[in-house]
A and B are shown apart, each in its own frame.
Chain A
Amino acid sequence: MVAILQKYIDQFIDLPAEELEALINSIEVRSVDKKVRLTDLNETEKYLYFVIKGLARKFFYKGKEEVITQLAKEGELVSSSVSYFSGAPSGYIVETIEPTTFYSLHRDRAEQLYSRYPKLERLSRLIITELFLQKEMWELERIRYNTKERFLRFMTDNPELFQRVPQKYLASYLNIKPETFSRLKHLLRKKNSDAPFLK
């Protein structure tokens, strides 16, 4: 299980064995059923979760409608991250879609680590930077690509999620109306049998 975390960390930094060990010792392994709410609205997010197996989503309510802002699969982080890093009340809800096993790091334990291990503190800065840049990329994607293009790009990058995630969640995440989503799905199937569906 550590290998998947190590791979994630390697993207950012060459972590000394001692610091990786300190991190592993501070981490809790947590397994929960599907549809379990890990973080609720207005709570302070206590954990940063790393998905080992399973699937989770992050969303907020717009009136009664759920707006999904993230689908987190194996090897990805999920958390109400602004709340986790800043201590402000969460504007988001984090909930599992499938039975899921996480590595989770409590924010108090994390702070203790940062004060003792300089590379872990750097890693946390680099992770915040990455989350920050992802928001920027999300905004640029929405400007640059139309609905159809965003749908095809997502399906190309995450073909397995099409099977694993309920359609209404995918539609919400991609900000596509359910009826448009059905139409686009049809396009995917047709294209799939022809040729690679995205050049």
Chain B
Amino acid sequence: MGDKNNVARDCFDQLLTHLQRFIAIDRDAFEVLVPYLEIRRFEKKQVLVNQGEIDDYLSVVIKGLVRKYVPSPKGQVTLQLATEGHFVQSEISYHNRVPSEVILETLEPTTLASIHYDNMQLVLNTMPGAETLGRAIIMQMFIKKDARYFDQLKVSTRDRFLAYVNNHPHMLQRVPQKIFASYLNIKPETFSRLKHLLLHKK
């Protein structure tokens, strides 16, 4: 029991550290939020949200890896690979309370710090300063999404690959190549060629 509480405490501490990277939130303000949060644990290859389900959670990855993807006629398209410190959810489903088009699935055993939609509304409606905090969080998510959008339209396949691998060197080991290629919107055969290029550069 005590141990379990300690583990949860450790997760919340990590969450605070992640949040403090982009919002001004002190420990006191954070502790008021903690009773509304949940620590959720999942095995590898577990589906968190399926197509047609409503996503009830906004989560931050504490440990592990979550993949967000959508099936398409041309094969699965990976929209996000969320690792430690990243927000992850089926956004449209969560905010608009509609069935999800996307699937969230773990690629590794994963621990999430999550807030349920109802608790989010409760916090926003009752807690002073919650709107400012909520605005900072959605802003951060918006900046990240806009960067990806920009990237997809502007940056060449080769540069996108090199930038991603340089910024996330551990991900080549953590993510199967096929999924990785679909995330970067690169054909599998091009991906192999680019990876080769990377090896030669070292």
Please list the residues of chain A having a beta carbon within 8 angstroms of any beta carbon in chain B. Answer: 60, 62, 67, 69, 81-82, 85-86, 88, 91, 114, 118, 121-122, 124-125, 128-129, 131-133, 135-140, 143-144, 175
Identify the closest chain B residue to A175 (Cβ): B153
How many chain B residues have a CB neighbour from A under 8 Å?
27
Tell me whether A128 and B153 are in contact (CB under 8 A).
Answer: no
Tell me whether B138 and A86 are in contact (CB under 8 A).
Answer: no
Which of B111-161 touch A at CB < 8 Å?
A: 124, 131-132, 134-135, 138-139, 141-143, 145-146, 149-150, 152-154
| B126 smallest CB distance to A (angstroms) | 12
| B39 smallest CB distance to A (angstroms) | 25
Provide a sorted-by-A list of 6 A–B residue pairs whose CB atoms are within 8 angstroms.
A86-B143, A125-B135, A129-B95, A132-B141, A133-B91, A139-B79
Please list the residues of chain B having a beta carbon within 8 angstroms of any beta carbon in chain A. Answer: 70, 72, 77, 79, 91-92, 95-96, 101-102, 124, 131-132, 134-135, 138-139, 141-143, 145-146, 149-150, 152-154
Tell me whether B138 and A69 are in contact (CB under 8 A).
Answer: no
Tell me whether B135 and A128 are in contact (CB under 8 A).
Answer: yes
| A119 smallest CB distance to B (angstroms) | 9
Q: Report the Cα distance A132→B149, complex, angstroms.
A: 11
Tell me whether A135 and B149 are in contact (CB under 8 A).
Answer: yes
Q: Report the Cα distance A69→B148, complex, angstroms.
A: 13
| B73 smallest CB distance to A (angstroms) | 9
**A86 surroundings in chain B (CB, below 8 A):** 139, 143
Tell me whether B145 and A132 are in contact (CB under 8 A).
Answer: yes
**A91 surroundings in chain B (CB, below 8 A):** 150
| A1 smallest CB distance to B (angstroms) | 27
**B92 surroundings in chain A (CB, below 8 A):** 133, 136-137, 140
Tell me whether B135 and A135 are in contact (CB under 8 A).
Answer: no
Tell me whether B134 and A143 are in contact (CB under 8 A).
Answer: no
Q: Report the Cα distance A67→B151, complex, angstroms.
A: 12
